[in-house]
Amino acid sequence: MAILVCGAIAYDTLFSFEDRFDSQILPDQLHKISTTFLAPTMRREFGGPAGNIAYSLAMLGEKPILMGAVGEDFAPYRQHLKHFGVDDRFVKVIPGQYTPQCFGIADCDGNQLMAFHPGAMNYGDSNHIADVPDAVDVAILSPGGRAAFLQHSRELYAAGIPFVFDPGQELPLLSADEIREIVEMASYLAINDYESELIRERAGLTLDMLRAKVKALIVTRGSKGAEIYADDSVHLIPRVQMDAPPIDPMGCGDAFRAGLLYGIRHGLDWRVTGRLANVIGAIKVTSNGPQNHFFDWEKLAGLYLASYGEELPLPRGRAGA
For the stretch 284-296, pLDDT in tens is 989 988 999 999 9
pLDDT (average), residues 243-267:
91
Q: Is the pLDDT of residue 320 over 50?
A: no
Q: Is the pLDDT of residue 319 over 50?
A: no
So which residues are the catalytic ones?
254
More confident residue, 110 or 208: 208
Is the model's pLDDT at 317 over the cut of 70?
no
Domains of the chain (ranges; CATH) run 2-8+48-99+125-308 (3.40.1190.20)
| Signed CA dihedral, 107, 111, 115, 121: sign only | positive
pLDDT at site 69: 98
Closest CA to 48 of 144, 114, 145: 144
CB 13 within 8 A of CB 102: yes
pLDDT tens per residue across span 157-185? 999 999 999 999 889 999 999 999 999 99
* Beta-strand relationship, 87-93 and 65-70: parallel
The mean pLDDT value for 110-129 works out to 92
Average pLDDT score over residue span 183-212: 96
Query: Is the Cβ–Cβ distance between 261 and 140 less than 8 Å?
Result: yes
Contact 58, 82 (CB under 8 A): no
Q: For residue 321, what pLDDT is reported?
A: 44
Residue 257 near residue 142, CB atoms below 8 Å:
yes
Which pTM does this prediction carry?
A: 0.93
Q: Which is nearest to 171 in space by CA: 136, 205, 120, 124? A: 205
Burial of 213: CB neighbours in 10 Å, binned 0-12, 13-18, 19+: middle
Over residues 104-127, mean pLDDT: 91
Q: Report whether pLDDT(22) > 90.
A: no
Helix axes 252-265, 49-59, angle to 10 degrees: 50
| φ and ψ at residue 157, rounded to 5 degrees | -65, -45
The answer, yes or no, to whether residue 241 has pLDDT greater than 90, is no
Task: State the pLDDT confidence band at 244, using cuts at 50, 70 and 90.
Answer: confident
111 CA to centre of own chain: 22
Pairing of strands 112-117, 101-106: antiparallel
